[in-house]
A and B are shown apart, each in its own frame.
Chain A
Amino acid sequence: MMSEPKSQYGRRSFLRNGAIASLAAGSGVAAGRGLISSAAAAGGPGFLGQATPLVDVVDPLVIPSIRLMTTDGHISAPGRRFSGPQPHPIYSFGFRDVDDQRLHAAGGELNKNPGDLVTKYRGKVIATSPTIVVLEGEEMAIVLTNLGFEGRPDLDDGHSLHWHGFRNATAVFDGVPETSVAVPPGRDLPYFYDLKTADEPGQTVGSAGTYMYHCHFEDVEHVQMGMTGVIFVEPRDMYFLPDGITPKPRVKIAYNDNSAGVDSSFAREFAILTNEIDPAPHDNLEALQEFVWSDYNPKYWTLNGRCYPDTVIPQITPIEQKAPVGEFLDMPLVPVTDDEKAEAEMYYQRNSSLIQVREGERVLLRLANLGYEIHSLDLVGVGEMRVIAHDASLLIGKAGDNDLTYTSRRIELGPGEARDAIFTVPAYDDLNAEVDTLAARMSPAKARKFNRYLLKSRAGDRLHNNGEVDPDDGPSYAKVSDTHGGMVTEIWVYPTLLDAPGLGQDGLPDQDSVNETFPTLVVPVGQV
């Protein structure tokens, strides 16, 4: 029934050929490709975003997968708020993840068919889309589900998923409608990715590194509407010994050990996607109007989909995905204080750009740009960063033994480019420290202090929000919101945890997942 599959070598390929072939033969699935049945493919447990990386489940027949749903909705920017005198949030498209990740057996949403998900999630886009963390050496699938548009039911736009930078991709999983297929409303399409390690046949480098993903259906429109996100691959040496199979306790590194001696270890990591927003196409689309894309003229500049001062609002997570460890602050169902109202505006823009670090730590910045302009971010006051990788490729030359990394105080990102850089946090200076009013809201005991630095764009004519800078429109704990808007975020440097009694210092906890902030805001129960 099955012709002899092309012979392949390497540990996992044998596993996959042998195992899957038997499954197909056993379960009578249509002959020909020896494929995993769709139920198994879509049903594998997989946790999205920054909580934990995808892991192989015990049963090798099932590969880990994530569901991403495409839909529309609105996002908030200074002057374009959900609440307030003239509510006018910005109409957007985007991918979003399911909140309830539980297994098929327990009735979780990972394995529901598209129809069931429409009522709950259509019109409730998240932009920028969730940061996906996966592990080198794994095989995985992202199931793309098109829920259709709530704001524009007349549009039968398809969607696709393009993993920007995937090596030796195949056309059908490259996600370009014109060179393969797209997903019509109400349908699913599983995208398969085999995250090769450097030692597999035909490979020169492994898959570890920082990439991006975005829709490629009428890409100029869908990317600008918000269908963008960061995906990065953790190196095999992070979880496994050099044999690649024997597990070991997690070691925080961005790239595998290399003979060029490049040190990619870090204590904390932050993934930041730069972009711009031209409100005209968003408003035109919402009002059933055309837009001439060569008239593109942005008025907002964003980090992870937020404009300063919203960029320093903490990371937001649904209650179902709340990590077991960390500091949390529940978002009230009805916000009362000004800060709670500002934080509620960011309800659909869950990725924060606040960088909270401890003195002396090594901090990894995963920077990527899916805007249409070249952006340059200055690290103000923290000394220089060492740029270790361009476009998910460690700077160690062809033979892998030549350290080409360089130091710089500014990172330049052309559209579609990514950089990984590491900086060492300067010493804490108590004289100029400020009280952490955000932490104090968790409990008076957490009255810790920090020094404030900036990571911001240097383009003076773009550091505003649609022409304005309104200090009252945003969180109180942002410092320079009376003069700055746009592509700015803050770096808060805390002291090393002082054990000396009496100081009552409750230091900054260790970071467990990318972009984790302290506290992390938790979406109220029942909210999507």
Chain B
Amino acid sequence: MKLPIRSKLAGILSVAVMAGGLAAGLSSGAPASANGGNSTIRCETGGVGTGGAVEFNLEARDGYISFPDGNTVYTWSYALAGAPYLQFPGPTLCVDEGDLVRVNLTNPPHGDNLSGGIPADFTSILFPGQTGVTATGGTAGLLTQEVDAGVPGDMVTYEFTASAPGTYLYESGTDQAVQVQMGLFGGLVVYPSAGRGFVYDGVNFDTENEFLLIFHEIDPGLHVGIELNSLAGLTGDAVLDGYDPVSRHNRYWTINGRSFPDVIAPNDTPVLPTQPYGGLVQINAGDPDGAYIQLPALVRYANAGLDNHPFHPHGNSLRIIAQDARPFPDEIEAYTETVAAGQTYDLLAEWNDVEAWQGTGAPIGVTLPALNNTMFKGGVTFYSGDADLGQQQQLPLDVTTFTTCGEYYFPWHSHALQEIQNFDEGFGGMLTLWRVDPPKEFDADAGQWLSPTACR
């Protein structure tokens, strides 16, 4: 069954390449985020509030996000106060163990061009997993204080002490089945007292390879209903007319608010102004015979959706060290992990060149047929043409490759395979890639171990 992925895949990626985004992102030359190196987690640093609190000012915003099949979906999400438009998912808040954290939430006036506040009477923020959360201002709601859209400039201040390191989510606590499905959630990371090179005291990782993957799923039909009600000027409960949660039927599945192939475009790609966070996982291979000790990458799973998602990396099993920000007494290794709704996991990811694939002449045990006796999908590939790591080889003329230095790519996706679709297009949805560059080499003039030059 041939699926029209060719034009689409090439389209998005070439645009991103043209905009200098993907190639740079893929070749990880310029650090794509604060955490440096290949990390795609982008920590929003809060201001210093009274009492030495780390303070963030968030707004509930509405607007549009886009999907690789060309569809756009009306969405609600948090954004940093004053941002030009919403960002889906909400800003990733990073704090350190022991910080007093203060988050101020407002719901600006709901403009008619659907780029203002959200047309809901009330909204709020919950911090699941945190203890001792206080909320002041706004009006009392079922689960916490809520911002009242009827009171201009109404603001609720949430405060808590980040007492335990780990990976968390924050999400709306008002009409959760509607507002969380519409997109009101974001990631919250608490670094341990040992510092930002650790996920828990005593457990370090390569700070160039830190990745946060937030899962979510969207039924565009429900979003269109609310969009039309909103355009018709309805607000409050009326905007939910016709919203039947029982008939929810997901068509899009996202990682960090994007579906594949948008997921592997770098952070802040101009093609996706309202979806700033990428999800490509990129590391350097470990070399058992080499001198350089390649620390594992840290991958943080957070499932903000309403459904449970089983996530599976190709290429290697992962070391699971914690769930819901509490370390296990000992590691458990797994090649697939079901992340239930609301749960977070912390995993260490590494790929070791145990078979000495990199380097010339290493036997691969069998004879591969000539490339014209094999088949490439859709005329584009993430294959270098050579079985060895770090080798590029001429591909058939009608096939273009995205590899630059013989790196390996492995899919990393939900194994409920109907979730790796963009509505009806295959190889999309809740899927990202794991890029494995050849092991680091000692760069004499830079005086340090770096990725091979072709990979930089």
Contact = CB atoms under 8 A, between A and B. Distances in A.
A348 to B, nearest CB: 22
Given A38-B367, A165-B335, A390-B332, A416 B418 contact: no
B355 interface: yes
B375 A141 contact: no
B449 to A, nearest CB: 18
Contacts of A397: 330-331
B215 interface: no
Contacts of A364: none
A17 B317 CA distance: 27
Interface residues of A, number: 93
Interface in B417-438: 417-421, 423-424, 426-427, 433
Interface in A163-201: 164-165, 167-174, 176-184, 187-192, 194, 196, 200-201
Interface in B369-394: 369, 371, 373-378, 381-384, 387, 389
Interface in A1-32: 2-9, 13, 16-17, 20-21, 29, 32
B3 interface: yes
Interface string B162-175: 00000000000000
Contacts of A164: 312, 335
B338 interface: yes
A404 interface: yes
Interface string A32-56: 1111111001000000000000000
A157 interface: yes
Contacts of B363: 5, 16-17, 20-21, 33-35
B366 interface: yes
A502 interface: no
B354 A36 contact: no
Contacts of B426: 218-221, 293
A58 interface: no
A181 B336 contact: no
A398 B329 CA distance: 10
A178 B417 contact: no
B250 A417 contact: no
Contacts of B334: 390-391, 393, 417
Contacts of B314: 162, 169, 174, 176, 179
A181 B383 contact: yes
Nearest to A417: B336
Interface in A380-414: 390-393, 395, 397-399, 402, 404, 412, 414
A228 to B, nearest CB: 11
Contact of A171 (B337, B410, B417): B410
Nearest to A31: B361
Q: Which of B289, B381, B408, B417 has the most CB of A within 10 A?
A: B417
Contacts of A240: none
Contact of B367 (A171, A190, A224): A190
A95 B420 CA distance: 23
A219 B366 contact: no
Contacts of A200: 354
A191 B367 CA distance: 9
A391 B415 CA distance: 14
Contact of B251 (A202, A218, A294, A415): A294
Contacts of B358: 6
B447 interface: no
Contacts of B243: none
Interface string B391-423: 000000000000000001111001111111101
Nearest to A188: B369
B8 to A, nearest CB: 13
Interface in B308-360: 308, 310, 312, 314-317, 319, 329-338, 351-360
A187 B373 contact: yes
* Chain B contact residues: helix, strand, loop or mixed: loop
A374 B361 contact: no
A521 interface: no
A153 to B, nearest CB: 14
Interface string A264-286: 00000000000000000000010
A488 interface: no
B30 interface: no
A141 B364 CA distance: 11
Contacts of A333: none
A35 B364 CA distance: 7
Q: Which of A17, A181, A205, A399 has the most CB of B within 10 A?
A: A181
Interface string A200-227: 1111010000000000111111011000
A292 interface: yes
Contacts of A402: 329-330
B424 A294 contact: yes
Contacts of B408: 170-171, 179
Nearest to B334: A391
Contacts of B316: 167-169
Q: Which of A184, A188, A219, A294 has the most CB of B within 10 A?
A: A294
B383 A171 contact: yes
Contacts, number: 264
Nearest to B307: A374
B286 interface: yes
A98 interface: no
Interface string A135-151: 00001010000000000
A285 B317 contact: no
B362 interface: yes
B421 A158 contact: no
A387 to B, nearest CB: 11
Contact of B383 (A6, A172, A285, A399): A172
Nearest to B350: A168
A189 to B, nearest CB: 6
Contact of A293 (B353, B361, B424): B424
B291 interface: no
B332 A395 contact: yes
B420 A220 contact: yes
B428 to A, nearest CB: 10
Given A171-B409, A217-B377, A374-B310, A33 B383 contact: no
B293 interface: no
Contact of B308 (A184, A216, A374, A392): A374
Nearest to A368: B336
A286 to B, nearest CB: 12
A191 B374 CA distance: 13
B409 to A, nearest CB: 4
Nearest to A218: B426
B276 to A, nearest CB: 25
A472 interface: no
A6 B361 contact: yes
Given A179-B409, A194-B355, A294-B250, A414 B365 contact: no
A230 interface: no
A296 interface: yes
A63 interface: yes
Contacts of B356: 5-6, 8, 13
B233 to A, nearest CB: 32
Nearest to B260: A178
Contacts of A167: 316-317, 354
B418 to A, nearest CB: 4
A372 interface: yes
Contacts of A218: 1, 3, 426-427
A9 B316 CA distance: 22
Interface of B: 1-3, 249-251, 286-289, 308, 310, 312, 314-317, 319, 329-338, 351-369, 371, 373-378, 381-384, 387, 389, 408-411, 414-421, 423-424, 426-427, 433
Closest 5 CB pairs of A and B: A202-B288, A414-B338, A416-B415, A397-B330, A414-B310
16 contacts: A6-B289, A21-B363, A34-B361, A41-B366, A164-B312, A165-B335, A181-B374, A181-B383, A187-B374, A187-B375, A190-B367, A194-B355, A200-B354, A218-B427, A415-B336, A417-B310
Given A179-B433, A218-B1, 6 more contacts: A5-B362, A41-B367, A162-B314, A171-B408, A179-B409, A200-B354
